[in-house]
Structure 1
Amino acid sequence: MRFATWILLAVATLLAGCNTTPYDRATVYYDRAQYLSDLVKNFPGITEPIVQHGRCAVTITTPNSNTGTYYFCTFALTTNDLYVMGWNGKTMKYEELANVNLSAIKKISIWSFFRARQLQLTEGQRLLGLSVTIDDGGYDDGAATERLFDTLKSKGITVVKSEGQIKPPPAPAPMFIPIVIPR
């Protein structure tokens, strides 16, 4: 009987730690049907038609680096610009994380590992690693990332081989210091 109680307690503890909402979906609002009107309302300067848009994750760093700052985001591609937006829950508005003028991009590449894809855009002093995610969040959408890559490639931007994934900095690890108490 005690063994069954311990098993039940262990299962309940494990299930209590389950998260039902992906973290990116919980931090960035995105409604595909309403996104364009929300974006234009928040940024009236966007006057060009939006060709592609979606939910994403972006790492922003400097060229020749593979570690940078990580954000959950949405993106909107126009004929001349790529807008990468974060979400401010306090003001309930999109905030610009990066505005990339397509003519300023020096080179692009795509990194892939199994089904994961990352589009890498290099400007003069900035490097972005962008992965498109599914609308519900939580999973990379490799096909959508490749479509975005192909669209940018068709604009005549130089394509180079990827030098590896651009990653966020590692999370701080807890430090365990053993305390020895002599008898």
Structure 2
Amino acid sequence: MRHFYSSLLLSTTMLLSACNTTPYDKATIYYDRTQFPSQLVKDYPELTDPILQHGRCSLVVSTPGSNTGTYYFCTYALTSKGLYMQGWDPKALKYVEIAHVDLAALKDISLYTFLRTKQLQLTEERRQLALSASIDEGGYIDGAATENLFESIKRKGVPVVESQGMISPPAPPSPMIIPVVVPR
């Protein structure tokens, strides 16, 4: 019996150590840095301004003053007039808009920083967005790109306020564990 358990443990360890999963954001959102601007202009004919910055991101959309909201994996594109966040439609093979922010309509912006995590927070009249840029391969937050995006928007004259904390996605449902004690 001892031999069975040790072989079961060894085979489970070998199976799990061979797992190399693709980050979920990379698996669900198509992004090719070199082709992205031309693909986005093709999908958004109304986008006529040159794209200044772009990349992969995670986005939380909420109401002003809230610290939780709806979570999206996305790509972003910054132009001189606006910030576009879009998801990927694998059936139509094109980008679909999640949110568009007119920089002139922004009430304020802030940058939340905790260790290596950075989150750009944009507040409009009735909507608040929290964006964290990710590395091109997905899976990790790119703090430098997020900070660069913050500085670019700040240079447009948008008021900067202090962040009130991180805006997070809602907690996932988790199973409830109820211990059952059986007396002997």
Tell me if TM exceeds 0.5.
Answer: yes
Instruction: Name the residue aligned to 1:160.
Output: 161
CA distance in structure 2 between the aligned counterparts of 1:95 and 1:36, rounded to whole angstroms:
14
> SS of the residue aligned with 2:53?
strand
> 1:26-175 alignment to 2 at 5 Å?
26-175=27-176
- Taking the aligned partners of 1:43 and 1:155, their CA distance within structure 2 comes to 23
Partner of residue 11, structure 1: 13
Matched residue SS, 1:94: strand
1:100-135 per-position Cα deviation (integer Å, ceiling 9, x unaligned): 000010000000111110000000000000000001
In the aligned structure 2, how far is the partner of 1:68 from the partner of 1:108? 17
CA RMSD, Structure 1 to Structure 2 (Å): 1.9
Runs of at least 5 residues in structure 2 that lack an aligned partner in the other structure: none
For residue 20 of structure 1, report the CA deviation from its aligned partner: 2.1
Q: Given residue 146 of structure 2, which amino acid in structure 1 is its aligned partner?
A: T
Between 1-10 and 164-173, the greater mean CA deviation after superposition: 1-10
What is the alpha-carbon distance in structure 1 between the residues aligned to residue 93 and residue 14 of structure 2?
36
- Equivalenced residue count is 182
Output the CA distance in 1 between the equivalents of 2:174 and 2:137. 30
Consecutive unaligned residues of structure 1, counting only runs of 5 or more, are none
Deviation digits for residues 14-55 of structure 1 (CA, Å, limit 9, x no counterpart)? 336x34210000010000010011101100000001110000
Matches of 1:6 and 1:26, distance apart in 2: 31
Counterpart code for 1:166: I
Sequence identity, in percent? 57
Normalised to the residue count of structure 1, the TM-score between the two structures is 0.93
> Post-superposition shift, 1:173?
0.7
CA shift for structure 1 position 176:
3.3
Deviation at residue 91 of structure 1 after TM alignment: 1.1
Runs of 4+ in 1 over 6 A off after TM superposition: 179-183
AA paired with 1:23? Answer: Y
Which secondary structure state, in structure 1, belongs to the residue aligned with residue 52 of structure 2?
strand
Output the amino acid matched with 1:59: V
